[in-house]
Structure 1
Amino acid sequence: SVLHYGQEVFEGLKAYRRADNTIWLFRPAFNANRFNQSARRMALPEIPVEDFVGSCVDLVRADARWVPVKDGATLYLRPFMYASESFLGVHPAHEVTYLNIGSPSGPYFDNGFSPVSIYVSEDYHRAGPGGTGEAKTSGNYAASLQPQEIAAEKGYAQVCFLDGETNTYIDELGGMNVFVVYRDGKVATPQLTGCILEGGTRGAIIQVLADEGITVSEERIALHQLLDDIRAGKVAEFLACGTAAVVTPIGKLGGKDFELEVPTGPMTKHIHDVITGIQWGRREDPHGWCYRVL
């Protein structure tokens, strides 16, 4: 039935092989809890956190030889659940299947840690109020594919979606959250409205900056105001974050009637170094985010 009604959820996390040959996961309990939040929204059963984490641990232990040795490369894990009952009829499935697969993974962007170009879609939305935007479900990604093709034809790497209600506020990139760093020291990220997927990396960044005495403002960020602030030189950096890419600077922002170069700066690199340092065991892990597998 998943092929007809799209009743499906999934997660994404990585296994890291450190210099001492131990293997670790990063915030697997966060992924487990988000998986269950997504499952509730899609009328699927929840899985005990220990079972979700256990499925990741057992998969990594069984396929430890597939966890890359190369610096920066990981084993990407994809736990997922789908309606596997054979029926035609719009109602929650009585039979579902949970699986977990893994694959060696390199950098998300071909050029690694270098600025990417983002196209703002004003004609398409990935989610709307009361919809499934805060769930990690396949339909949200399917909705982003055509705008992504349009952006690629225009020479952009990713799409930035606006809110589906007013077509005014920045939501997310479809697979990544965003942060704005202002020259006056303020850092802001779009607030979670029910239309934005809450990212684990997003939460980690907010905590890392809080540890350094920087409060991140979670607020509605209007596109027109962001563009004005970029033109006025008030924006120091604009960055995207997610499990796959970790953190990447945004160097160009374009749309129907605008194309602006966005400055880059040290904050994005600093955040990247702190988060990856914790993931790879090169920095202290003050919040116990890392989970040893082997």
Structure 2
Amino acid sequence: MKILLTGSNGLLGQKLVKLITEETNHDLVATSRGDNRLQGSSFKYMSLDITNKQEVDAIIDQVKPDVIINTAAMTNVDQCEADKENCDLLNVESVRYLVEASERNNCFLVHLSTDFIFDGEDGPYNEDAEANPVSYYGESKLKAEEIIKDSNIDWAIVRTVLVYGIAEDMSRSNIILWVKKSLEKNVQINVVDDQWRTPTLAEDLAKGCLLIAEKNAKGVFNISGKDMLTPYDMAIKTADFFKLDKSYIQQTDGSKFTQVAKRPPKTGFVLDKAINELGYNPVSFEEGIAILADQIKEKE
């Protein structure tokens, strides 16, 4: 199977490159904006700006992949709220370009979406739940879903929640690294206890995407972690794992923070469909921390 991956320099993109090249015989063409951040000769890299229709058309027409996995997006929620034009370009218009190119080349499009298409009033959600985004990021991702659903292509939409992990050549942090570094320096941190999520290890999300591609599984799939936690819960579990002083963790709520975009209070996903139809089996949050701890040791 020939797979074209967008956003290969991002966290999920990097995990997919590693998974596909190390554990499968699939032919991988990795694409991202700018230079390749990943080492390895077992895949081909091509620079691609998915907001440029001509580039999208040229590369997909040339590669003619069986499957396109689209991980590229503007995911900073506040940035999307402040810069709606670029948010639309990256999260909506680029998806339209990918759909049109997929239609022309008979590709199966696997597209990443988010729990932020929901208002968070009655999570956790299954795949049939009614969307009602409370931020422009959520609106943009819902628009992209609608473009895909209205198309004539074979498609799968992968919705996920609060992805965490460690990537090469990236400064991007996550709650585990932030809590660990803060407590090691005896820095007090304020962590909210009124938002609930099912945090997702990036490696699990990559496995879910690949299962969908390999099984040619069409439709909407929830792919996330299985534990419903608040950020405060995550911080406490992180402190416990690394045996750090929890007294520096201050419990607070979202009203104490000024953020440009509104956040849904309780999302999280019901995973029954992915478990039963794909054989998806995510790790627990504690197991995810242990995996990150091993990766941190390898980098030291």
TM bin (shorter chain): under 0.3
Greater per-residue strand proportion: 1
TM-score by length of 2: 0.24
Bigger proportion of residues as helix: 2
